[in-house]
């Protein structure tokens, strides 16, 4: 019997207006707990509980499972808001959004029933970048491996792990010569955390490395879907772009919020701070450079929202995103990270030691230079965007998570 597609009423907010009001109301808690999260190396129980209760971890989860299934551009605004309050909280929120959207849209019905028995209020974390190995067996896969960067995994109930599909001792390959990767979902008690999240930035994300407890773990086929171009089983057409769209949405939303906070903190320090040379905000050189930084950030943000608005307008017409629209959201993702990296370095240098000591500005500087290390920001993906914009891809070209086939 197919999963009931009637939207579930779980009591959580699901409209954009309700979710925005909820997010605004939780910003003081997110900010007040940010130092404790840094000390714990993961989010506080209070923040996780409130974000869950208010539906902010299920912004994109399909309505059929009780989620909000917001258009990407609306969900982006909410993650941007929380990431401005605290980069680590915003990062975990976007991770939950990506995991909820992907598992909700692509898992077969039996897996969706297992993982979402009571609706969308489910926490999921892990790493989809393949670091494990999956051996096909009757009814599913036997998996094993060690994964890095399991963001938000401390509070996860389910784990999402990328695995190379094996054929004996060799990886199975596509016709184009790329490894076949499967995403496997398994309960939290099947893994052990390495407890090694001692890092420069994004400390409050609890992005621990992890491994399966047993030498091999059986994962039913219903709790798995393919990494590239998975079959969509529920949700709107915006999910047709698979993990390409979902992950681009997540990292872009996060960067917008943290970049905005850097500029706001810098402006406040410039008005208050004075040294032998006077107030920073009175310096002609600083005023010029600050205005230039604002222009770069606002231009990058406008590019982001232009690219995502175009994609969402297509989805509203029930049209999947085309190759160029996906290239533009991926290019906008890299571009906003480039700009906030440059802006945070400018802020760090301009404040003459203010960010050497613990402060919001220091945390933003560290978070930004951690967020820019993600594999999805690789030069190789930007090169693929260039191929699309140059018109040198084939007529049947398709985006994959790390490039283009065709």
Structure tokens at 390: 């140059």
pLDDT, one tens digit per residue, over 161-183 is: 999 999 999 999 988 888 999 99
Task: Assess whether pLDDT exceeds 90 at residue 5.
Answer: no
CATH of the domain spanning 237-405 = 1.20.140.10
Contact 301, 333 (CB under 8 A): no
Task: Assess whether pLDDT exceeds 70 at residue 107.
Answer: yes
Beta strands of 168-265 (E only): which ranges? 170-171, 181-187, 191-193, 208-212, 217-220, 224-226
Task: Assess whether pLDDT exceeds 80 at residue 9.
Answer: no
Beta strands of 168-266 (E only): which ranges? 170-171, 181-187, 191-193, 208-212, 217-220, 224-226
CATH of the domain spanning 16-115 = 1.10.540.10
- The mean per-residue pLDDT over the stretch 184-203 comes to 96
Residues of the chain above pLDDT 90, percent: 93
DSSP run (H or E) holding 339? helix 323-350
For the chain, the domains span 16-115, 124-226, 237-405
Q: Kindly indicate the confidence band of residue 324, based on its pLDDT and cuts at 50, 70 and 90.
A: very high
Contact 401, 375 (CB under 8 A): no
Which pLDDT value is given to residue 237? 97
Query: What are the two backbone dihedrals, phi and then psi, of residue 399, each rounded to the nearest 5 degrees?
Result: -75, 140
Q: What is the DSSP letter of 357?
A: S
Which pLDDT value is given to residue 258? 98
Task: Assess whether pLDDT exceeds 70 at residue 11.
Answer: yes
| 3-state SS, residue 159 | strand
Q: Spell out the alpha helix ranges (H) of 33-164.
A: 34-40, 45-53, 72-85, 87-106, 109-115
Structure tokens at 37: 């999260």
Task: Assess whether pLDDT exceeds 50 at residue 239.
Answer: yes
Which pLDDT value is given to residue 177? 84
Q: What are the Cα distances from residue 320, in Å, to 104, 115, 243, 327, 406? A: 18, 27, 14, 14, 18
Provide the whole-model pTM: 0.96
Q: Kindly indicate the confidence band of residue 47, based on its pLDDT and cuts at 50, 70 and 90.
A: very high
Which pLDDT value is given to residue 1? 32
Which pLDDT value is given to residue 376? 97
| Average pLDDT value for the chain | 95
Structure tokens at 352: 């003459």
Which pLDDT value is given to residue 318? 97
Which pLDDT value is given to residue 51? 98
- The mean per-residue pLDDT over the stretch 56-62 comes to 97
Structure tokens at 392: 């040198």
Pairing of strands 124-137, 158-167: parallel
Which pLDDT value is given to residue 368? 98
Q: What is the DSSP letter of 154?
A: G
> To 10 degrees, the CA torsion angle through 158, 163, 168, 169?
-130
Q: In the beta sheet, which residues pair with residue 390?
A: none
User: Which CATH number applies to 124-226: 3.40.605.10, 2.60.40.10, 2.40.110.10, 3.40.50.2000?
Assistant: 2.40.110.10
What is the rounded CA–CA span in Å between residue 159 and residue 149? 12
Task: Assess whether pLDDT exceeds 50 at residue 111.
Answer: yes
pLDDT, one tens digit per residue, over 121-154 is: 999 999 999 999 999 999 999 999 999 999 999 9
What is the rounded CA–CA span in Å between residue 296 and residue 30? 27
- The mean per-residue pLDDT over the stretch 303-312 comes to 98
- CB neighbours (10 Å) of residue 221? 17
What is the rounded CA–CA span in Å between residue 259 and residue 342? 10
What is the rounded CA–CA span in Å between residue 72 and residue 326? 13
What is the rounded CA–CA span in Å between residue 142 and residue 133? 8
- The mean per-residue pLDDT over the stretch 286-297 comes to 98
pLDDT, one tens digit per residue, over 358-379 is: 999 999 999 999 999 999 999 9
Contact 347, 361 (CB under 8 A): yes
Residue 392's Cβ-side half-sphere holds a number of Cα atoms within 13 Å equal to 6
């Amino acid at each position: 019997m197919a999963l009931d597609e009637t939207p579930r009423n779980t009591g959580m907010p699901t409209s954009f207006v309700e979710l925005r009001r909820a997010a605004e109301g939780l910003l003081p808690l997110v900010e007040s707990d940010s130092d404790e999260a840094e000390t714990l190396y993961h989010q506080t129980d209070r923040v996780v509980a409130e974000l869950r209760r208010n539906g902010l971890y299920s912004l994109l989860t399909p309505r059929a499972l009780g989620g909000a299934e917001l258009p990407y551009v609306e969900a982006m605004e909410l993650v941007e808001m929380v990431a401005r309050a605290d980069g680590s909280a915003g990062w975990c929120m976007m991770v939950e959004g990506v995991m909820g959207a992907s598992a909700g849209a692509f898992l077969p019905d039996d897996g969706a029933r297992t993982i979402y028995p009571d609706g969308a209020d489910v926490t999921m974390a892990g790493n989809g970048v393949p670091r494990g190995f999956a051996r096909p067996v009757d009814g599913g896969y036997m998996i094993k491996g060690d994964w890095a960067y399991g963001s938000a995994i401390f509070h996860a109930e389910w784990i999402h792990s990328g695995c190379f599909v094996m054929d004996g001792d060799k990886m199975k390959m596509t016709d184009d010569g790329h490894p076949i990767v499967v995403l496997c979902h398994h309960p939290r008690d099947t893994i052990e955390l390495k407890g090694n999240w001692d890092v420069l930035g994004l400390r409050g994300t609890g992005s621990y490395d992890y491994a399966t407890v047993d030498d091999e773990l059986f994962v039913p086929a219903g709790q798995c879907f393919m990494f590239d171009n998975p079959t969509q089983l529920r949700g709107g057409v915006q999910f047709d772009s698979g993990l390409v769209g979902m992950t681009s949405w997540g990292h872009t939303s996060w960067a917008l919020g943290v970049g905005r906070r850097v500029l706001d903190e810098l402006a406040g320090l410039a008005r208050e701070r004075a040294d032998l040379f006077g107030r920073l905000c009175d310096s002609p050189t600083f005023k010029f450079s600050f205005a230039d930084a604002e222009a770069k950030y606002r231009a990058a943000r406008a590019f982001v929202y232009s690219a995502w608005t175009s994609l969402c307008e297509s989805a509203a017409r029930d049209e999947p995103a085309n190759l160029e629209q996906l290239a533009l959201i991926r290019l906008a993702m890299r571009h906003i990270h480039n700009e906030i990296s440059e802006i945070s370095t400018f802020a760090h240098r301009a404040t003459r030691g203010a960010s050497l000591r613990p402060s919001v500005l220091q945390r933003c500087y560290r978070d930004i230079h951690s967020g820019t290390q993600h594999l999805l920001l690789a030069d190789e993906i930007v090169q693929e965007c260039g191929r699309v914009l140059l018109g040198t891809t084939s007529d049947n070209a398709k985006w994959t998570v790390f490039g283009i086939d065709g």
